[in-house]
Amino acid sequence: MSDQAFPANPEPDSTARHIVIVASQYNPRFTDGLVNSAQAELARLLPQAKIEVHRVPGAFEIPVVVEAVCQKTANSDKPDAVIALGVIIRGSTAHADLIAATITDSLQRSALDHLIPVIHEVLLLDNEKQAEERALGSQLNRGIESAQAAAAMLKVFANLNPES
């Protein structure tokens, strides 16, 4: 199985889109890397997209903001896709695992309730080395992959609703 889930160079889409990134401020070296990588890849893949970024204190606060942006009405610029970014590094207790499970459940619920693609890249990692590889590296960069997943889901949704 390849580490690369998406084509190496997906084709850009010139459709105007509204993408919201909700990212934790915690572990800023890594989360900033994820946000910057996602923004750069979105600019490449969706050059006409409006990209809105909301920063929250920690990973636990991400789902409530994702839900708030998903609840916007059509008149108030409801997003076409949402990307959730954060880095949780395990400690010696189960706290990180509990937070990660809650986030996963909440993000999936928002996606299903609102039929908006919510890309989940709130990473639960064992150590800073893993965080570096996934947030700052070029091989496994989950910020880049989150943008590629969002673009891919926009294509799927466009095929499901060709009139929109």
Which residues are catalytically annotated?
95
Scan for tokens 């509990």, then name that residue.
Answer: 98
Residue 14: is it exposed, middle or buried by C-beta count within 10 angstroms (0-12/13-18/19+)? exposed
- CA 39 – CA 33 distance, rounded (Å): 10
Alpha-helical (H) ranges within the chain are 28-45, 62-70, 95-114, 128-135, 142-160
- In the chain, the N- to C-terminal Cα span, in Å, equals 35
Contacts of 157 (CB under 8 A, 6+ apart): 80, 117
